[in-house]
């Protein structure tokens, strides 16, 4: 299964009037990062909002020298193909991506193909903070790269690690899956190939291994103390 972890940076918060200035995508195949990425800076043909600039620190002078969205749109869509998209707060990023597609008269992307990690996080940790920063701290993912500024590729790479933790994460006693021979710290872990598979024979019934009347009575008394036992649910 192929998935694309996607993030954007923008000139502001309103997709109808603001534009994408950076797109970052990370490819996962069977929950393992492959090393393939899509990353573009874009000329938004407009100024940054001051608050947006404080986040991404991409100057207008730098962005003016970058390609327009329409110039990279086909390459972007080819990279996404028809695969599932993994996005944090997907409504925001998809709103911007689809506005950019509409501006060049291309079909918008369907939200049905999107997995929103903020929804997963809120379901798994109700009441807890679900920002990317908060989730990185929860899973002890290094945030130092994000200290000076946010970036679409930086955040997509962090989100890939968060997503893999949300759906299972690293487990003790397992080795990292590897791609092209190199271990990935963000990979879903695979069992050690050297670990033997133990097949246990079925347990035999031992004659006489029955509880006494006193033991059975104590057992029934203990069961009676359990409220709403699952074995009595419909």
Positions marked active-site: 150
Kindly list the distances between the CA atom of residue 120 and the CA atoms of 24, 131, 164, 185, 186, in Å, as whole numbers in the listed order.
21, 12, 11, 21, 18
Contact 81, 108 (CB under 8 A): no
What gap in Å lies between CA 189 and CA 207, rounded to an integer? 44
Measured from the Cβ of residue 37, the count of other Cβ atoms closer than 10 Å reads: 16
180: left (phi over 0), alpha (psi -120 to 50) or beta: left
Measured from the Cβ of residue 148, the count of other Cβ atoms closer than 10 Å reads: 8
């Amino acid at each position: 299964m192929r998935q694309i972890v996607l993030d954007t940076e923008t000139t502001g918060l309103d997709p109808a009037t603001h534009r994408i200035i950076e797109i970052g995508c990370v490819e996962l195949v069977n929950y393992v990062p492959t090393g393939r990425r899509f990353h573009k800076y874009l000329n938004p043909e407009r100024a940054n909002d001051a608050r947006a600039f404080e986040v991404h620190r991409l100057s207008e002078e730098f962005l003016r020298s970058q390609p327009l969205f329409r110039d990279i749109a086909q390459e972007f869509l080819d990279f996404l193909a028809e695969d599932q998209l993994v996005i944090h707060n997907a409504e925001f990023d998809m709103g911007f991506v689809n506005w950019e597609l509409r501006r060049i008269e291309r079909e918008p992307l369907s939200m049905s193909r999107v997995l929103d990690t903020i929804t997963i996080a809120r379901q798994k940790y109700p009441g807890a903070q679900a920002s990317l920063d908060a989730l990185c701290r929860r899973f002890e993912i290094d945030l130092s790269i994000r200290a000076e500024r946010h970036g679409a590729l930086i955040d997509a790479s962090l989100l890939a690690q968060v997503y893999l933790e949300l759906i299972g994460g690293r487990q003790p006693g397992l080795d990292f899956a590897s791609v092209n021979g190199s271990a990935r710290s963000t990979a879903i872990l695979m069992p050690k190939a050297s670990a033997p598979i133990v097949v246990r024979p079925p347990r035999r019934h031992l004659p006489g291994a029955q509880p006494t009347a006193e033991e059975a009575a104590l057992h029934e008394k203990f069961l009676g103390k359990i409220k709403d036992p699952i074995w009595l649910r419909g």
